[in-house]
C-alpha cells in the first residue's frame, strides 16, 4: 500500500515554503516504513480523487489563486465527495480561503469552492507575525501568519484558540478550521515540521481511511519539539 | 545651513555610538534625515554622476564592483559599500563622504537601494544609470510576494525616466521592466553553461500574458534563454554580452571582445560583473579600465570571503533567501573537497521574521558524501536543525550552537578539508568579526 499525496498546483501555490509540509509528511512516513509518493498536479491534469490520500493546497499571489480556483471549480463536486468520504486535505493560507464560500476584496467578490462554511474579507493592512494556538488534542501549535484576508468560520471548529498572534480575523480568537479530515490554516512556518503531533494526526487519518488502524510507530521528535518550544516561549513572552 | 547642522549632528551621533561599541551603519543617516528630510536632494546637487543598483540579490557586490571601477580611474566615489540600503543607509553613505559641515568633494555616487525605498530616493536624486540585477522572492513578510517587488521597481523606475536602464536580459522578471522603455541596455550570458538549474519557483510565467515560458536552457532559477509562445516576449539580445564563461575557483569571461578575470567565483558574480560592466560603460568608462577594475575587486563582507583558520580555508557567504541559499549550496557542492558546513539563521526584521523560506531552499543537496559535518547557529538555529533533519541527516550529525564562534571552531576541527560558513543578513558583520578574530588567533 502506498499513500499518495497530491500536491495541488505547486507551481502556482507555493508562496511561503509550504512545500515543507509535504517534505515533513513524506519523511515521517518513510521513517516508519510507510510507502508514500507525491504527485504534483499542474496545469489541466486530472485529479483522480479516488486515488489520493491527501490533497495539499498552499497559498499564492492573488493572481495565482484565481487561476487555481478556476481549475478547481470544475472539480468542485469530486472534491466535496472526497472530503465527505474522509479524504484528507491540508490547506494553507490562500488554499484555506479557496475552500470557503467566498473571498471579498475591495473590488470584487470571488466565489470559493464551498467545501467549508467560511467567508473571507480583505481588511486594512495585513496580519503578520508569529502565532501560538492551542488545540485540545495536539497541544500548542506554532506558526507564522501573513494574510490580508480576515476569515470568519461560523460554527466550524477552529484548528486552535489563539494564545498569541491574530489568527483567522484578529477578533474572535480562533485560528484555522479543522473539519472531518480537512486541516485549514493561515499558519506557515512551515506548519508541520515544528508540529509533529499535528503531522502524525494527518498521517493517521490517511491510514485509517485505508483501513490501517495500527498505532503509528513513535519517532524521536527531540529536535522538532526543541524548535517548537523555543518559538512558542519567545512568542508568548513578547506578546 | 540645515544640511550642515544635519551632517554635524549625524557625525556626532556616529562618534557617540562608536564609543559605546555600536556600529549601526545607517544611524548617522537616520539622524540627518530627521533634521533635514530632503538632505539627499542637497547632497545630490554636489555630485556630478550618480548610478544606482536595484534588485533582489547581488546589489552590494554589483555596487561595490562599480565603485571600484570608478576608483580605479582615480575618481572618488560615495558608496554604501556595506549594503545599508534603506533611506538612512543611503544618507549615511553621503554623510560618511562629507566634511563635518556637509560638503562633498566626491565626483560620483554609487548607491544600492532597497526596492521598497527606491521610489523615495529617486525623487531626490537623478541617476544617469540604474541597474536592476534580478528579481527573486526575498523577505516574504516584508513584501508579500514577487508581484509586489516588481511593482515597487516599476514605480521607482518611473521616477527616473531619463536614466539609462541596465537590465539583466537573462531574468524574464527583470527584463520585463524594460518593455516600452527607451534608453535600455541589457546584459546577460549568451551561452548554456550546462548548470544544474534547480527549481524555478517564481517567474515561470510571462509577465505580459501569463503563459508559461519555454527555455532553450536555464542558468539558475528563472534565468536563462526564455521565450513566451503566447505573446512572443523573449530574452532580449544583450548589448553587454558575456561569453566564454569559465567557472572554477575564480570566474572569468569575455564581454564584447574584452577579457575579464574575476578574483571571485560563482555564476552570480559573473552576472554581477556584467551588470557593473554595463553600468560603468554607460558612464563612458573604457572597457579595458572596467576589466582592470573588476580584476582588482575585493568582495564585500560575506560574499565568498576566505579566511584561514587552524590551517583550513574557511569560505564565508551570505544567503538571505532561497535563491541565494541555493547558490551557496551550489558553491559548497561545486567544491569537490570534503568540507564541514556551518549555517547561521537569524529572524530579525532585516532578515525577515518568517523562516518558512528555509523549506524552499534545497538543503537536501547538502546531504552529500563530501559534507562531513553540520553545525547550525543563529537565533533560529533550532529551526535550521529541523530543516537538516528532514534532509535525512541523523540528529547526531547536527550540532546546535548558541555561539557562532563555537560553531565555527567545531567545524574547523571537523573531518573536512575546508569549512563553509553560510549566514543570513543580520549575522553578517558579527560573524565576519568572529572569523577575523579566529584567523588572527590561529596565526
**What's the confidence (pLDDT) of residue B141?**
56
pLDDT(B21) > 70: no
**What's the confidence (pLDDT) of residue B210?**
85
Contact criterion met (CB < 8 Å) for B382 and A226: yes
Pairs across A and B, CB distance < 8 A: 81
**What's the confidence (pLDDT) of residue A44?**
82
Per-residue pLDDT band at B148 (split at 50, 70, 90): confident
pLDDT(B140) > 70: no
**Contact between residue B202 and residue B150 where contact means Cβ atoms under 8 Å apart:** no
Per-residue pLDDT band at B139 (split at 50, 70, 90): low
**What's the confidence (pLDDT) of residue B105?**
87
**Span B172-192, pLDDT tens digits:** 999 999 998 989 999 999 999
**Span A139-164, pLDDT tens digits:** 999 999 999 999 999 999 999 999 99
Q: How many helices (H) and strands (E) does chain A have?
A: 6, 12
Length of chain A: 239
- Left (φ > 0), alpha (ψ -120 to 50) or beta: where does B55 sit? left
For residues A81-110, average pLDDT: 93
Per-residue pLDDT band at B323 (split at 50, 70, 90): confident
pLDDT(B195) > 80: no
Per-residue pLDDT band at A47 (split at 50, 70, 90): confident
**Span B357-416, pLDDT tens digits:** 999 999 999 999 999 999 999 999 999 999 999 999 999 999 999 999 999 999 999 999
Per-residue pLDDT band at B24 (split at 50, 70, 90): low
**What's the confidence (pLDDT) of residue A15?**
72
Whole-angstrom Cα distance, residue A164 to residue A173?
Answer: 9
Residue among A44, A126, A129, A190 with most chain B CBs within 10 A, to mutate: A190
pLDDT(B22) > 70: no
Question: CB count, 10 Å around CB of B301?
Answer: 17
Contact criterion met (CB < 8 Å) for A16 and B144: no
Q: Which three cell numbers stand for residue B38?
A: 530632503
| B382 chain-A contacts, CB cut-off 8 A | 223, 226-227, 230
Q: Does the beta carbon of A223 lie under 8 angstroms from any beta carbon of chain B?
A: yes
Distance from CA of A222 to the nearest CA of B (A): 9
Question: CB count, 10 Å around CB of B404?
Answer: 22
Contact criterion met (CB < 8 Å) for A231 and B145: no
pLDDT(B236) > 80: yes
For residues B275-296, average pLDDT: 96
Contact criterion met (CB < 8 Å) for A194 and B383: yes
Distance from CA of A155 to the nearest CA of B (A): 30
Per-residue pLDDT band at B238 (split at 50, 70, 90): very high
Q: Which three cell numbers stand for residue B176?
A: 520585463
Nearest to B386 by CA among A219, A5, A7: A219
| A17 chain-B contacts, CB cut-off 8 A | 356-360
| A24 chain-B contacts, CB cut-off 8 A | 390
| A144 chain-B contacts, CB cut-off 8 A | 141, 353-356
Contact criterion met (CB < 8 Å) for A226 and B385: yes
Question: CB count, 10 Å around CB of B443?
Answer: 6
Task: Work out the mean pLDDT of chain A and round it to a whole number.
Answer: 94
**What's the confidence (pLDDT) of residue A170?**
97
Higher pLDDT, A15 or B357: B357
pLDDT(B134) > 60: yes
**What's the confidence (pLDDT) of residue B266?**
87
β pairing state of B184-189 and B240-246: parallel
Nearest to B7 by CA among B136, B113, B97, B134: B97
Q: Does the beta carbon of A224 lie under 8 angstroms from any beta carbon of chain B?
A: yes
**Contact between residue A199 and residue A207 where contact means Cβ atoms under 8 Å apart:** no
Per-residue pLDDT band at B82 (split at 50, 70, 90): confident
pLDDT(B143) > 60: no
**What's the confidence (pLDDT) of residue B41?**
92
| A128 chain-B contacts, CB cut-off 8 A | 141, 353
Whole-angstrom Cα distance, residue B52 to residue A71?
Answer: 42
Distance of CA B264 to the CA centre of its chain: 14
User: Which of A29, A93, A166, A199 does the annotation list as catalytic?
Assistant: A93
Q: Which residue on chain B is closest to A223 by alpha carbon?
A: B386
**What's the confidence (pLDDT) of residue B163?**
96
Q: Which residue on chain A is closest to B361 by alpha carbon?
A: A17
**Contact between residue A162 and residue A172 where contact means Cβ atoms under 8 Å apart:** no
For residues B288-314, average pLDDT: 89
- Left (φ > 0), alpha (ψ -120 to 50) or beta: where does B132 sit? beta
Q: What percent of chain B has pLDDT over 90?
A: 74
Higher pLDDT, B368 or A18: B368
For residues A102-107, average pLDDT: 88
**Contact between residue B337 and residue B418 where contact means Cβ atoms under 8 Å apart:** yes
Contact criterion met (CB < 8 Å) for B201 and A14: yes
**What's the confidence (pLDDT) of residue A68?**
86
Helix ranges (H only) for B144-245 are 146-158, 172-175
Distance from CA of B370 to the nearest CA of A (A): 23
Interface of A with B in 172-191 (CB under 8 A): 188-190
Indicate if A93 belongs to the active site: yes
Task: Work out the mean pLDDT of chain B and round it to a whole number.
Answer: 92
What ipTM was assigned to the predicted interfaces of this complex? 0.97
User: Which of A7, A147, A156, A188 does the annotation list as catalytic?
Assistant: A188
**What's the confidence (pLDDT) of residue B302?**
74
For residues B123-139, average pLDDT: 91
Q: Which residue on chain B is closest to A42 by alpha carbon?
A: B212
Residue among B362, B383, B395, B397 with most chain A CBs within 10 A, to mutate: B383
| A70 chain-B contacts, CB cut-off 8 A | none
Contact criterion met (CB < 8 Å) for B144 and A126: yes
| B358 chain-A contacts, CB cut-off 8 A | 17, 20
Amino acid at each position: 500500500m502506498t499513500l499518495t499525496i497530491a500536491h495541488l498546483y505547486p507551481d502556482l501555490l507555493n508562496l511561503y515554503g509550504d512545500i515543507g509540509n509535504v517534505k515533513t509528511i513524506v519523511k515521517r512516513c518513510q521513517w516508519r516504513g510507510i510507502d508514500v509518493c507525491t504527485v504534483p498536479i499542474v496545469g489541466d491534469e486530472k485529479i483522480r480523487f479516488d486515488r489520493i490520500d491527501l490533497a495539499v493546497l498552499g497559498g499564492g499571489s492573488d493572481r495565482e489563486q484565481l487561476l487555481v480556483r478556476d481549475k478547481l471549480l470544475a472539480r468542485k463536486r469530486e472534491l466535496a465527495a472526497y472530503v465527505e468520504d474522509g479524504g484528507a486535505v491540508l490547506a494553507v493560507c490562500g488554499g484555506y480561503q479557496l475552500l470557503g464560500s467566498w473571498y471579498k476584496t475591495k473590488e470584487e467578490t470571488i466565489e470559493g469552492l464551498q467545501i467549508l462554511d467560511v467567508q473571507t474579507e480583505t481588511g486594512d493592512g495585513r496580519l503578520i507575525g508569529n502565532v501560538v494556538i492551542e488545540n485540545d488534542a495536539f497541544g500548542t501549535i506554532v506558526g507564522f501568519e501573513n494574510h490580508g484576508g480576515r476569515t470568519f468560520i461560523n460554527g466550524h471548529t477552529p484548528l486552535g484558540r489563539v494564545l498569541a498572534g491574530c489568527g483567522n480575523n484578529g477578533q474572535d480568537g480562533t485560528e484555522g478550521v479543522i473539519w472531518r479530515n480537512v486541516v485549514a490554516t493561515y499558519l506557515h512556518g512551515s506548519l508541520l515540521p515544528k508540529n509533529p503531533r499535528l503531522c502524525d494526526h494527518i498521517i493517521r487519518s490517511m491510514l485509517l481511511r485505508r483501513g490501517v488502524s495500527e498505532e503509528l510507530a513513535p519517532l524521536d521528535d527531540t529536535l522538532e519539539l526543541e524548535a517548537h518550544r523555543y518559538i512558542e516561549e519567545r512568542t508568548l513572552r513578547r506578546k | 545651513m540645515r544640511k550642515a547642522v544635519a551632517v554635524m549632528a549625524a557625525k556626532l551621533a556616529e562618534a557617540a555610538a562608536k564609543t559605546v561599541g555600536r556600529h549601526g551603519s545607517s544611524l548617522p543617516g537616520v539622524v540627518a534625515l530627521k533634521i533635514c528630510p530632503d538632505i539627499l536632494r542637497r547632497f545630490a546637487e554636489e555630485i556630478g554622476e550618480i548610478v544606482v543598483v536595484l534588485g533582489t540579490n547581488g546589489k552590494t557586490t554589483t555596487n561595490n564592483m562599480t565603485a571600484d571601477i570608478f576608483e580605479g580611474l582615480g575618481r572618488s566615489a560615495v558608496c554604501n559599500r556595506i549594503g545599508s540600503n534603506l533611506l538612512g543607509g543611503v544618507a549615511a553613505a553621503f554623510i560618511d563622504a562629507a566634511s563635518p559641515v556637509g560638503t562633498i568633494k566626491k565626483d560620483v555616487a554609487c548607491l544600492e537601494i532597497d526596492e521598497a525605498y527606491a521610489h523615495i530616493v529617486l525623487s531626490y536624486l537623478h541617476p544617469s544609470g540604474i541597474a536592476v540585477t534580478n528579481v527573486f522572492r526575498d523577505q516574504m513578510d516584508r513584501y508579500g510576494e514577487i508581484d509586489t517587488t516588481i511593482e515597487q521597481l516599476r514605480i521607482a523606475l518611473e521616477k527616473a525616466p531619463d536614466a539609462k536602464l541596465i537590465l539583466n536580459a537573462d531574468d524574464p522578471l527583470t527584463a520585463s521592466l524594460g518593455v516600452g522603455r527607451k534608453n535600455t541596455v541589457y546584459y546577460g550570458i549568451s551561452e548554456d553553461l550546462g548548470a544544474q538549474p534547480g527549481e524555478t519557483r517564481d517567474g515561470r510565467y510571462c509577465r505580459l500574458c501569463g503563459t508559461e515560458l519555454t527555455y532553450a536552457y536555464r542558468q539558475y532559477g528563472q534565468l536563462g534563454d526564455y521565450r513566451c509562445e503566447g505573446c512572443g516576449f523573449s530574452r532580449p539580445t544583450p548589448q553587454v554580452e558575456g561569453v566564454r564563461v569559465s567557472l572554477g575557483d575564480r570566474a572569468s569571461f569575455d564581454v564584447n571582445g574584452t577579457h575579464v578575470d574575476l578574483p571571485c567565483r560563482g555564476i552570480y558574480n559573473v552576472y554581477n560583473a556584467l551588470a557593473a560592466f554595463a553600468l560603468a560603460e554607460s558612464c563612458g568608462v573604457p572597457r579595458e579600465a572596467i576589466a582592470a577594475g573588476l580584476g582588482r575587486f575585493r568582495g564585500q563582507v560575506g560574499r565568498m570571503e576566505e579566511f584561514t583558520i587552524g590551517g583550513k580555508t574557511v569560505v564565508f557567504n551570505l544567503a538571505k533567501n532561497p535563491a541565494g541559499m541555493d547558490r551557496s549550496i551550489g558553491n559548497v557542492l561545486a567544491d569537490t573537497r570534503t568540507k564541514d558546513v556551518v549555517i547561521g539563521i537569524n529572524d530579525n526584521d532585516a532578515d525577515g521574521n518568517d523562516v518558512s523560506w528555509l523549506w524552499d531552499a534545497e538543503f537536501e543537496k547538502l546531504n552529500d558524501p563530501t559534507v562531513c559535518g553540520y553545525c547550525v547557529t543563529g537565533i533560529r538555529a533550532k529551526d535550521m536543525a529541523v530543516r537538516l533533519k528532514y534532509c535525512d541527516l541523523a540528529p547526531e550529525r547536527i550540532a546546535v550552537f548558541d555561539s557562532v564562534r563555537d560553531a565555527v571552531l567545531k567545524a574547523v576541527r571537523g573531518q573536512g578539508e575546508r569549512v563553509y560558513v553560510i549566514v543570513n543578513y543580520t549575522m553578517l558583520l558579527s560573524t565576519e568579526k568572529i572569523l577575523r578574530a579566529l584567523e588572527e588567533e590561529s596565526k
